Amino acid sequence: MSREIIQQITLRGLRGLQRVEKDVREIIEAVRTRGDEALLEFTRKFDYVELDPNVMRADREDFEAAYRSVRPEEIRALKRAASNIKRFHKNQLQRIRFEQTMGGVTLGVVARPISSIGIYTPGGKTAYPSSILMCAIPAKVAGVERIIACSPPSPQSRFNPHILVASEIAGVSEIYSIGGAQAVAAMAYGTASIKPVEKIVGPGNVYVTVAKQLLSRHISVDLPAGPSEILIIADEHADPKFIAADLLAQAEHDENAQCILLTTSERIGGEVKRILDQTLASSTPSPVSRVALEKSGLIAVVHDLQEAARLSNEIAPEHLVIMTRDPGSVFKAIRNAGLVFLGKYSPVAVGDYSAGTNHVLPTGGYARTYSGLSVRDFIKTIGYVRCSKTGLRRLARETATLAEIEGFQAHSNSIKVRGIL
């Protein structure tokens, strides 16, 4: 794979951001200064919906109507997924707290939740109730008291019923029919109808991403999450049908989705290309999938699995799938990835929906420095120290000495005054 191709892939996170920054700044300022009036104006302009300010927030009737329109098996699927997500994220929380005691000195860390968060969940061409589960449940597990959500309306409906049902299952306190950069600004600054929150999470389009970046000096935000990405590492033992299916699955997310196969086998690469070409020639794939694969699809034959792992680390994909005879050995070489799927029976779709891991993941190469959304995003850790007299005596001399080296005599005296030295 050429250096030019790698550079083009690794710079993907910058595409389109500067193009919309001026517009997003204007939207943010309008919401900050004009509040609800600006929200209604932008909803009319971008969503083609004339919204009544008194019905921006979902009420009990909206939820009851949503439950009537969502099929029982869909509600059961949402509840099962929610249960798995809750279980996984509870385990994360248990690993954050600890305490150690040695020689009269006790050190520890406790977790305290953020008091309020806002979730952005996309509307666009389709709605994503799974994103509500992925954002709200870890916050609920962390102990966040107020969880609100914003999702754009459509000309057909103020609220998507699946979004409302998922919101109630996940424990969302308030949900508003507002979308785009204006929703992010409203959650950050507050309006007459929407009280501000302390942190904003959730994926969105380029306008939402830029709004979160611009507002990050004013409010805490989560990771940069843009168009979906998949990178598959495969050897000659992989099943090309599975590979093609996983590439197509991610391609249907977004026209800018990135779909890459790195394989050590020319046979596997050729067979995957044949299946994809055959599928694209049929009426099966969506127009979105066609555009994504034509624009950002790539199959590359590499020398060995070590080279595949090295290239994957440079690209730092959102989703990494390892379909090799021994996926665990390849995984040991992986440093940069949002979420890794090991083996041929671990499709990305289970991580997207039901396994329990979080699907809000860093894209655009940000997996080099960011992790996926977790309970840690909704808590602050507070360390504590408790010394007995014996414990302080054990630490006193080096503490006083180091303080005096740095010229802080009062620090040293705060030890001596306790009659320890």
Judge contact between 302 and 311, C-beta under 8 A.
Answer: yes
Residue 200's H or E segment, with its range, is strand 199-201
271-304 exposure pattern, b = at least 16 Cβ within 10 A, e = fewer: bbeebbeebbeeeebeebbbbbbeebbbbebbee
CA distances, 214 to each of 18, 101, 188, 332, 401 (Å): 12, 44, 11, 36, 45
Known active-site residue 198? no
* CA–CA distance, 320 with 283 (Å, rounded to integer): 28
Q: Which candidate in 89, 162, 253, 319 is catalytic?
A: 319
Dihedrals φ, ψ of 71, to 5°?
-65, 145
- Taking a C-beta distance cutoff of 8 angstroms, is the pair 188, 217 a contact? no
Residues 376/334, Cβ–Cβ less than 8 Å = no
In this structure, are residues 133 and 201 in contact, taking their beta carbons and an 8 Å threshold? no
Question: Which residue among 318, 398, 404, 411 is the active-site one?
Answer: 318
Residue whose token pair is 């979730």: 119
Separation of alpha carbons 102 and 107, rounded Å: 9
Contacts of 104 (CB under 8 A, 6+ apart): 387, 388, 389, 390, 391, 392, 393, 394
- Catalytic status, residue 319: yes
β-strand partners of 341 = 321
Residues forming the active site: 318-319
